[in-house]
A and B are shown apart, each in its own frame.
Chain A
Amino acid sequence: MATKLSLNLQIWRQAGPDKPGKMVDYKLNDVSPDMSFLEMLDVLNDDLLQKGEEPVEFDNDCREGICGMCSLVINGVAHGPQKGTATCQLHMRKFKDGETVTIEPFRAKAFPVVKDLVVDRGAFDRIIAAGGYISINAGGAPDANAIPIPKEYADEAMDAAACIGCGACVAACPNASASLFVSAKISQLALLPQGQPERYRRATSMVAQMDAEGFGDCSNHAECEAVCPKEISIAHIARMKRDYLRSVFK
C-alpha cells in the first residue's frame, strides 16, 4: 500500500465572469496516490461542503480522456506533468508528499472564466461552425475502401481527428493562439477526398473566425504540441498555413 500524500493546494477562485479572482490555499491530507487528479478535487470539495464552504467548480465529463471537457493548468502546465494525457487521466502518484500544487483555469481572452476553474470554450464551436464540416449529405456510413485513400493520408487524417477540442493548446501557448486546434480540424478534412471541394474556403473562413475570436498569433513555440493530450503535431499548423496561403492565389 503506497503511503498517502499531504498536499498544499493553491487554487484559483473566482465567483463569476467579471468578478476578481485570487489564488486560495487549501491543505489536503490522506490523498491516495491511486486517485486521479479529479478524484483528488472531489475529495477536496467533500471537505469544503462539510465545512459549509463553496466547492471548487471545475469542468469534467467522461473522465477517460475522450470528451475534452476537463481542463486545468497544473503547476503552470496545461493538463499537468504527464505527456499525452488529459487532466482526468493524471494520477496523484505523479506528485510528491508535501508538494505545493497550483491549479489555475485555462487563461485566454477568448476563453472567459465562468467560475473558478471553469472557462467558456464556445469560441471553438464558432470556429467549427465557420467551416469545420463538409456541406453534402453524407448519408449512412460508406463502405470501407469504397473510396481508395493512401494509407499515409488516412493515418495523418486520423491523427488530426484525434483532437478532442479541450483547448489545452490555447492555454499553453505563450500567445494564446488556437492554431493547433484549428489546424487539426482543417487537416482532418484537407487530407481526405470528401474535404477537397471546400478545402481552401474552409481554411480561410476558419482562420478568419479564429482571429475574430481574439486568439493570439502563432509564434511557433510548439508548446501546444507538448501539452496536447492527443499529441497533435504542429505539422498540421504548417498544412493549415499552406492551405491558407494557397487560397490567396485561388
Chain B
Amino acid sequence: MAEEKAKLWSSVGKKALMAVTGLLLVTFVIEHLLGNLLLFTTDPDPFNKYAYTLMSLGKLLIAVELVFLAFFILHMYSGLTVYLSKRKARPDSYRKSGNAGNPSKKTLSSTTMIISGLVLLVFVAIHLKTFKFGPHYTTFVDGVEMRDLYKLVYQTFAQPLYVFWYVLSMVILGLHLRHGVWSAFQSLGLHHHRFTPAIYTFALIFAVVWALGFIAMPIWIFFDPLNVRQDVLNLM
C-alpha cells in the first residue's frame, strides 16, 4: 500500500492523476455549455426546468458535486506540485530563452497552465457565489414553484464589468483546454503515431469552439437583441 501511494505521487503517478481529474472536469465543461444553450431562447421555462431537474436529484446531485470538488482539489494540488517541481529543478534560469520549433508542442497555452488554472479557480469561486449561492428568485412553470435562474443570469449579464470578466475567463479556459485536453492523453500513456496528431488538432478545435460557446452567451444576453431582459426583469 505504501508503495502504491509512493507511485501515485511520483512524477508519472501525479500526472496520471492530474489527467484523470482534468478529463472529468472537461466532461463537466462539456455538459455545462450544452445546458447554457437553453439561455439563448426567449422562453425562461426550458432553462429553469433543466436547472430544476438537476436540483431535484437531491442527494445524488450532492454526491456528484462532492466528487467534482474532490477531483478539483486533487487536480489543483497535483498542478501546484508540478509547478513547484519545475521551479526547484531549474533554480537558475537561462539568460536567453528560445524555442526549438516543430515538433515541439511548447505554446503559450502549455507554458501558462498554472496561471490559467489559478484564474479558473478564482472564476469558479465567483461563479458559484453569483449563481449557485446568489439571490433566490422564484417562478412557476406548469404550476410548479422553482428557482428563476434565467432571471438571475439575465440580470447578472446586464453589468458590463461582469461580462468582461466572464469573457476574459472563458478565453483563459480555452487556453487551459488547448494544452490540457491533448496533454491528458499523453499523461496516461495514450500515444499513437496516427491518433496523437488528430488528438492534438481536436484539442485546439474543442478549446476554440467551447470557449466561443461560453463567450457567446454573456455577449448575447448583454446586447439582448430580442429584448428579453425587459420582460424577464419586470416579471416580479
A residues with a Cβ closer than 8 A to B are: 10, 12, 23, 73, 75-78, 102, 104, 107-110, 172, 174-177, 179, 204, 207-208, 210-211, 214-223, 225-227, 234-235, 237-242, 244-245, 247-248
Contact = CB atoms under 8 A, between A and B. Distances in A.
A104 B88 contact: no
Given A176-B86, A226-B102, A221 B187 contact: no
Contact of A221 (B7, B10, B110, B196): B110
A95 to B, nearest CB: 14
Interface residues of B, number: 49
Nearest to B193: A235
Given A76-B98, A108-B89, A219-B82, A207 B12 contact: yes
Nearest to B6: A208
Contact of B12 (A73, A172, A245): A245
A239 B186 CA distance: 10
B188 A241 contact: yes
Given A76-B96, A110-B89, A240 B12 contact: yes
Contact of B11 (A12, A211, A221, A242): A211
A60 B72 CA distance: 48
B191 to A, nearest CB: 3
Contacts of A247: 7
A248 B88 contact: no
B151 interface: no
Contact of B100 (A102, A175, A223): A223
B89 A109 contact: yes
A219 B14 CA distance: 11
The 4 A-B pairs of least Cβ separation, nearest first, read A76-B98, A238-B191, A216-B89, A242-B189
A233 B129 CA distance: 45
A234 B196 CA distance: 11
Interface in B1-27: 4, 6-8, 10-16
Contact of A234 (B7, B97, B191): B191
A107 B94 contact: yes
B201 interface: no
B104 A248 contact: no
Contacts of A175: 82, 85-86, 89-90
B90 A218 contact: no
B113 interface: yes
Given A219-B86, A248-B7, 17 more contacts: A77-B99, A77-B100, A102-B96, A215-B89, A216-B89, A217-B86, A219-B113, A220-B179, A220-B182, A220-B183, A234-B186, A234-B191, A238-B190, A239-B191, A241-B187, A247-B7, A248-B8
Contacts of A237: 186, 191
Nearest to A21: B92
B104 to A, nearest CB: 4
A113 to B, nearest CB: 9
A244 B188 CA distance: 10
Which of B82, B89, B92, B192 has its CB near the most chain A CB atoms (within 10 A)? B89
A245 B100 contact: no
Interface string B84-125: 011011111111111111111110001101000000000000
